[in-house]
Amino acid sequence: MFNFSDLIIQNVKMKKSHVVVGIDPDINRIPLFYLKEAESLYGVSSQGAAHALLEFGKTVINTVKDYVAVVKLQSAYFEVYGAYGVATFWELVSHAKNEGLIVIADAKRGDIGPTSRAYSESFFGDKTNKWRDSNPTVDALTINPYLGKDSIDPFYNSAISLKKGLFILVKTSNDSSEDLQDKQLKSQLTVSETIAEWVNNYACDSIGENGYSLIGAVVGATHTKDILKFRKLMPNSIFLLPGYGAQGGKGENITNAFNPDGYGALISASRSIIYSYNKVEIKTEHQIKKCITDAVRNMNNDINDALLRENKLKWKAEALNSRH
């Protein structure tokens, strides 16, 4: 049955890109002219900040939409500005979806069962709740597994019925992910390998048309040596690999995240793309768009070239064939 992973593969093929652009807008790093405009409209206020984030986010989306299939919005940067920030988050979700992009909410939620149901409803909606009217929904959500399987189930059940996707945190990109995730259990597995086994059990019960599940895994692009291990533990899951770029991940190091079919991984970068103009004094939207376009195309080429070298690039191989 067609599920979230099939939607991913369909769109990745169409855009010829495994890249995900992360939208993590920090008021201290976005171009100054967005702030000046916002200040003139709403003053230096949460409402003003939320407006600046909205306009900047739209620019990013409008720029990257031809080069990527998926964007990932980091909830934290919007929550800073309270209800105004959250309104911007959902406006950008709608904008990205209207532009044909798949949207992942990077919110890393996880709680006891009834509360996880409420979080699932927050991000995926719930057809039985007539009060939640026209709020948009995201296509996928990142999930923290610390509370165990009964905290994943409500998200998983909603994802099945509403055709959504999940990315469970298995091995995160940050340095101190080792503090807990690399700890070895008596069973010989590490904590993150244990979570990988959970993910695989869920995945085996929810395989789509292309052989992948709606339940994916977050595996940091920074942990090169572990990627192949996790690929083997979760053969049917799409990996979301954050940490490319600003956190140090590179294309040549993450090809093991892909299956021999050339699919199964989405490589995410945020700061190295959306702040690629380096200076907040940059003057025009045209200049910003050029910097972001260059950054996202370079990243895409870096990954596609690395995959080509390993004979894992689906579309260039097809392009070569068509020349015969």
Site residues (CB under 8 A) for its own copies?
A: 24, 26-27, 44-46, 48-49, 74, 76-77, 79-87, 90, 108-116, 118-119, 121-122, 129-135, 144-151, 169, 172-181, 183-187, 191, 194-195, 198, 242
Q: How far is the CB of 153 from its own copies (least distance, A)?
A: 9
Q: Quick check: 200 and 233 in contact, CB under 8 A?
A: yes
Question: How far apart are CB 214 and its own copies at their closest, in Å?
Answer: 20
Q: 119 or 277: whose CB is closer to its own copies?
A: 119
Going from the C-alpha of 185 to that of each of 97, 190, 253, 302, the distances in angstroms are 42, 5, 27, 37
Question: Cα separations (Å) of 226 from 80, 117, 128, 170, 305?
Answer: 34, 32, 42, 11, 21
The maximal CA–CA distance of the chain, rounded, in angstroms, is 62
Instruction: Name the residue nearer to its own copies (CB basis): 185 or 228.
Output: 185
Contact of 168 with 217, CB cutoff 8 Å: yes
Tell me whether residue 6 or residue 121 sits nearer to its own copies (CB atom). 121
Instruction: Give me the least distance between CB of 323 and its own copies, in Å please.
Output: 44
Owner of token pair 């057809």: 127
Amino acid identity of residue 4, one-letter, is F
- Cβ-based nearer residue to its own copies, 119 or 212: 119
Residues annotated catalytic, as ranges: 108
- Quote the least distance from Cβ 188 to its own copies, whole Å: 8
**Structure tokens belonging to residue 272:** 């190295």
Count how many Cα atoms sit within 13 Å of the Cα of residue 74 in the half-sphere of its side chain.
Answer: 17
CB of 85 to its own copies, least distance (A): 8
Dist. CA 123–CA 89, nearest whole Å: 11
Token readout for 240 is 């979301």
